[in-house]
Structure 1
Amino acid sequence: MNQTAIAVNGSGLNCDVVAAVARDGAFVTVTPQAVERARQAWEVVREVATRQPVYGRTTGVGANRNVLIEDDAAHGLRVLRSHSGGAGPLMSAETVRAMLIVRLNQIAAGGSGVDPDVLGALADVINRWLIPPIPAYGAIGTGDLTALASTALCLIGERPWQGNVVGAHFPLRPADALAFISSNAATLGESALACRDVLELLRVSIPVTGLSLLAVQGSAEAYAAPVHAGCPHPGRRRVADAMRGLLEGEELKPARIQDPYGYRAFPQVHGPAVDAVENAETVVTREINASSENPLVDVANRTVWHNGNFHTAYVGLGLDAVRAAMFQTAALSAARLGTLVEPTFTGLQPFQAAPGEPGSGIMILEYVAHSAIADIRRLATPSALGSAVLSRGVEEHAGFSTQSARATTEAVTAYRIVLACELIAAVRALRMQGREPSGRLGEVFARSADALDSAVEDRALDGDISSAADLLPRLAPYGVY
């Protein structure tokens, strides 16, 4: 349990902080300024509702937006109950906790008009590890209505928390029902975790590529600063810089005038992935600190604005680009793996089989890697290519950022397997060659060698793949660009 305290104030939340709360259990508090900001918005929206229609408070929702509501208490409960009908397997606990911290921060930013007491309630839910049972299917990128309605029903005590835990009943006024659920907090929470994970794996790929380069007696010439100054995309320049830093001090004796694309074009292919995930991270960070509410409560002008801030097109498009770039760089990892089973590149038996044996060695790693890459390719289909017309035609577009976030999460799992396969092959080749890198790559090799089985006889490699996948996060600091 992480005892770090996170003071939520409606700004300053980032993907690392979301992960610290969702996965590590960082303790959450809410600043007095955030409570006061939420209180002012709550007072303003109640005042405005006495003199003009406010969507979801004094009117129905969706196609019922023109229906005026007199009993807001009964209406609010109807909204929660009717919108909580998701389906499918339950979201993971970490995704739900990511949703909770994002929604807490959004309400703290002001603009929702939700009762400020909800801030303390949500913080308590997070700190007590209460998990609302939320089915995965129900959102399309225009509001995580089913997820947040299910959460609200747990808050008011109408539904039990996951595991049939009966928690204390927390305050959520029925009049605030639509304001509470009008958010993409679940999509944004999952997006934040996915960005963090992709960024970590992209960093890991750099030292793994360095080990592979040594194992095939490759050249560092493709990473020279003048090469990348000639076409100065930010990502590729930083990747090349990181490769040069890792290879510094190594006695490289290139075996060929130029290497295959897996090495020679690594910055050009990996760089776009770095740029894509950093763009997506910027977008997600902006969203999780925004007042993306409909209607938006404007305290300064004492009014509300009906708007389309709930539409997360930026997030979906950003993550779509991440998966496309991830596929490209994962395919390059598989290409390097292909060189590591070839005697002409390693000087070893085919497939790095044990000396004197016509064995299969690491042959199966190529199949495993390409199986994982096939999933990344499938998941790379842009979610933004879909659309939908809903609620009797009044909600006539959707960007499916929710599906983009879920696909990115799944692609992370597959990419981790691809890199694990390459790491096993590179470390095994260097061991069998009797070579040990120096400097920072030497540290990477030592950590990897300690974690991976040194036996080379034909045997099941599933344990090796699992060990390598678990090791990857510890190698990420060596790939900082």
Structure 2
Amino acid sequence: MGKENIELGKEPLTLEIAKKLASKTILSINKEALRRVSESRSLVEKKVAENKPVYGINTGFGVNASISIPGKELKKLQVNIIRSHATGFGNPLSAEESRLLLSLRLFTLLNGHTGVSSELCLALKDLYHSEIIPLIPEKGSVGASGDLAPLAHLGLSLIGEGSVFLDGKKIEAKAALKKKGLKPYVLKEKEGLGLINGTQAMLSVGSLALYEALELFFKANKVAALSFEALRGNVDELNPLIHKARKQIGQIESAKDILGQLQGSSLLSKKTKRRFLQDPYSLRCAPQVHGASFDFLNFCKTIVERELNASTDNPLVFSKEGLILSGGNFHGEPLAISFDTAAIAVSEFASISERRLELLLNPHFSGLTPFLAINPGLESGYMGFQYLSASLVNENKVLSSPASVDSIPGNGGIEDHVSMGMTSARKLKQIVYNVKVALVLEAISAAQAITLGKLSHKLGKGTKKTFDLIREEVTPLTGDRIISEDVQKGLIFINKL
């Protein structure tokens, strides 16, 4: 099956399309979008010829905006802002994140409000197809005036400076461009600023994390259903009448999903003996908790998809009106608050999962051996899983503290309120990973409980599939072993689920 061709500038972007852009795909550029770019570029060139002060074209930046730059220095001005703002530090963004960042910045330029040339857009498209991965450090953005530092590192790759990755190896950008038959791009007036003013770095990291967070809702439901089987849960609490009575959409969806996984299970028989008349909250209220998180993740998706299609530059060029207007669309507050909200929401999948894990490992609740060991006392079984899960939940609690409520002014007081949106995105990314591990721990333990209880032949159609997927990667525990290896194998399972 060939790669999908995505035509940028024709249709609005969605979170699903963003995920595809992060992979290796084929880009084309809509002709109407290029026309918009050319029209806005013509207005920029007109302003350059008039030699009147226009921010970002013939003035300094930030607190230096009152300083006029002579015509012969305008192109150097654009190179200087790329070099001077490439102050990123830390681990590089992943190849997926860097690729998405590049394509999102290109899409923004194609809105026709940045004032760059069509040549710059085509150069970005060629860079994407070259499979050169810009080396973009993850730290350095405060999320206002755009993601200046990360986007500046993208700009370096385009003009043949700094470092990039090619075939998995770090090399100089100039050498990589030459290997791929590309020339370093020569920036025109406003194009340096046009590359770095925007929210595309936090948007690329946060979008991919949010995409995974939404997937984790369905995975959490499947894992919870397996715990229902292992603990002989009371399925009456999944009855649609209960959930429709509350009218919360996510809750209704979660209950329906969990109950759907249990279709064909012996739990649906009235003859089946229950562990409890009323289950502990981590089972009984799973739809209420999972569903609340899902609702807020979907709200965040709405905000993110608006931003995927936004023009986030300063100044913005409006060719039809003949205006170049300074504003603050680069401010990352919508994304910062959204990613902070998503961090809280997705953390709850791990928080309630850890409690179900405790039920599975505790003989007073499971009716099985302590920690699901074969020879308790001599063996500790999956005792260590609860420690790991608790540590992940604790870390998530710390990481869920919102970054968006903080602001550290910069640029001589001109940038006196910032969003810290990149910090929000990076936190969300780590939390999502922690949640995946927590669900792995619950799923492996539920499978072990099902094996010990000799229940595998009584499972529902959906839970049997989940159980079998686990057993493809993790064999039943027959004695103490290095269970961190089970966790690594479980991550293969959770990615398939």
Partner of 2:26: 27
Partner SS state of residue 161, structure 1? strand
Name the stretch that deviates more: 442-451 or 194-203. 442-451
Change (3 A) 1:89 1:440: closer
Partner of 2:490: 468
Aligned length: 474
**Equivalent-residue separation in structure 2 for 1:47 and 1:236 (angstroms):** 56
Q: Report the alpha carbon displacement of residue 14 of structure 1 after superposing the two structures with TM.
A: 2.4
Partner SS state of residue 44, structure 1? helix
**Equivalent-residue separation in structure 2 for 1:190 and 1:43 (angstroms):** 33
- State the AA in 1 paired with 2:31: P
Partner of 1:248: 263
Q: Report the alpha carbon displacement of residue 160 of structure 1 after superposing the two structures with TM.
A: 4.2
Is 1:152 matched up with 2:155? yes
Matching of residues 357-396 of structure 1 within 5 Å: 358-396=378-416
Is 1:275 matched up with 2:282? no
Partner of 2:356: 336
Partner SS state of residue 273, structure 1? helix
Q: Report the alpha carbon displacement of residue 454 of structure 1 after superposing the two structures with TM.
A: 2.0
Change (3 A) 1:139 1:359: same
Partner of 2:36: 37
Partner of 1:7: 7
Change (3 A) 1:49 1:275: farther
2:467 to 437, 440, 445: 445
Matching of residues 25-424 of structure 1 within 5 Å: 25-51=24-50, 52-70=52-70, 71-142=73-144, 143-162=146-165, 163-165=170-172, 166=175, 167=177, 168-175=182-189, 176-252=191-267, 253=272, 254-355=274-375, 358-424=378-444
**Equivalent-residue separation in structure 2 for 1:387 and 1:430 (angstroms):** 50
Change (3 A) 1:102 1:454: same
**Paired residues of 1:206 and 1:243 also in contact (CA < 8 A):** yes
Partner SS state of residue 458, structure 1? coil
**Paired residues of 2:133 and 2:164 also in contact (CA < 8 A):** yes
The percent identity for this pair of structures is: 29
**Equivalent-residue separation in structure 2 for 1:261 and 1:122 (angstroms):** 52
**Equivalent-residue separation in structure 1 for 2:327 and 2:245 (angstroms):** 45
**Equivalent-residue separation in structure 2 for 1:11 and 1:307 (angstroms):** 26
- State the AA in 1 paired with 2:411: S
**Paired residues of 1:372 and 1:414 also in contact (CA < 8 A):** yes
- TM-score in terms of structure 2 length: 0.91
**Equivalent-residue separation in structure 1 for 2:184 and 2:33 (angstroms):** 19
Partner SS state of residue 261, structure 2? helix
Q: Report the alpha carbon displacement of residue 50 of structure 1 after superposing the two structures with TM.
A: 4.2
**Paired residues of 1:118 and 1:170 also in contact (CA < 8 A):** no
- TM-score in terms of structure 1 length: 0.94
Q: Report the alpha carbon displacement of residue 310 of structure 1 after superposing the two structures with TM.
A: 0.5
**Paired residues of 1:59 and 1:65 also in contact (CA < 8 A):** yes
Q: Report the alpha carbon displacement of residue 267 of structure 1 after superposing the two structures with TM.
A: 1.5
**Paired residues of 2:9 and 2:30 also in contact (CA < 8 A):** yes
**Equivalent-residue separation in structure 2 for 1:274 and 1:297 (angstroms):** 38
Q: Report the alpha carbon displacement of residue 317 of structure 1 after superposing the two structures with TM.
A: 0.6
**Paired residues of 2:37 and 2:115 also in contact (CA < 8 A):** yes
Change (3 A) 1:356 1:341: closer
- State the AA in 1 paired with 2:24: G
Q: Where do 5+ consecutive residues of structure 2 fail to align?
A: none
Partner SS state of residue 125, structure 1? helix
Q: Report the alpha carbon displacement of residue 10 of structure 1 after superposing the two structures with TM.
A: 6.0
